Structure 1
Amino acid sequence: MAKEKHINNTTLNNSPDIEASSKIDAIKQLIFGENMQAYESEFEAVKNDILSKKQELESLIDEVRNELLQNIDNLSTDINIRITDLENSFNDKADRLDEKKLDRKLFGEMLMNLGEKISK
């Protein structure tokens, strides 16, 4: 019997809370019903707009990233070509210097040979 009273008291205690809550919700609906629906639709529109803008920004970021990577690749290729051209130019000039350079020992031997030929 004590258990039945406890169960009934618990059910009765919860029941007024539920009724009060539902009454408050009903009053809120009466007072703010149209406004709440308008607010919810506005919030949903703003949320959708934000998601749309986020997708646009992500798309733009991907485009810029791809463009930057392409520019970096082009720049790298251009730099490699210029470095190769500079190396070739340097090697050509070094070869010309070797050709123009006067080897004193060789020049001395040539002069001695020329001198010997003249004296004969």
Structure 2
Amino acid sequence: MEKNSENKQPVVENHKIDDRIAAVRDLIFGENMQQYSTEFADVYDQIKTLKDQTNKNLSESVTNLENKLADLESLMEHKFQDLNDDLDKRLADLDDEKADRKKLGKALEKIALMLQE
């Protein structure tokens, strides 16, 4: 029984000491601590605002890039279709009985140059 009362007594004394230390700390630093708390709250709000703005900008940039890639893909498909149509037209112009290799070669060279552009 004596052990229980001995264990409780230091806990009560430590609590009183902690309260005294907290009171002295509040007297010395109380006003500064409130100012620091306010400044930290402002900094956290600014960080949150910047994070939200950055996420929004990133989302807009991704959407913009996706749109530009889709436009480029459409342009490339159109260009390939035009080249394919040109090749079909030139092949149709060649004589069915005898293919003129020089004309075919020149047509293919022209297509190759157009692809390089």
TM superposition score normalised by structure 1: 0.78
Which residue identity does 1:93 align to in structure 2?
R
Alignment-derived partner of residue 53 in structure 2: 56
Alignment-derived partner of residue 33 in structure 2: 36
Bigger Cα displacement from structure 2, 88-97 vs 28-37: 88-97
Does the residue aligned with 2:6 lie in a helix, a strand or coil? helix
Aligned-partner Cα distance in 1 for 2:90–2:20: 97
Match of 1:66 among 60, 63, 74: 63
**Structure 1 residue 100 displacement after superposition:** 9.1
Alignment-derived partner of residue 16 in structure 1: 13
Moved over 6 A (4+): none
RMSD: 1.7
Q: How many residues were matched structurally?
A: 100
**Structure 1 residue 97 displacement after superposition:** 1.9
Q: Give yes or no for the alignment of 1:27 onto 2:24.
A: yes
Bigger Cα displacement from structure 2, 90-99 vs 69-78: 90-99
Aligned-partner Cα distance in 1 for 2:35–2:91: 82
CA change 1:31–1:94 in 2 (3 A) is same
Q: Give yes or no for the alignment of 1:87 onto 2:87.
A: no
Q: Percent identity?
A: 25
TM superposition score normalised by structure 2: 0.80
Which residue identity does 2:34 align to in structure 1?
Q
Bigger Cα displacement from structure 2, 60-69 vs 15-24: 15-24
**Structure 1 residue 98 displacement after superposition:** 2.8
Structure 1 unpaired stretches of 5+: 104-120
Higher relative contact order (CA 8 A, sep 6+): 2
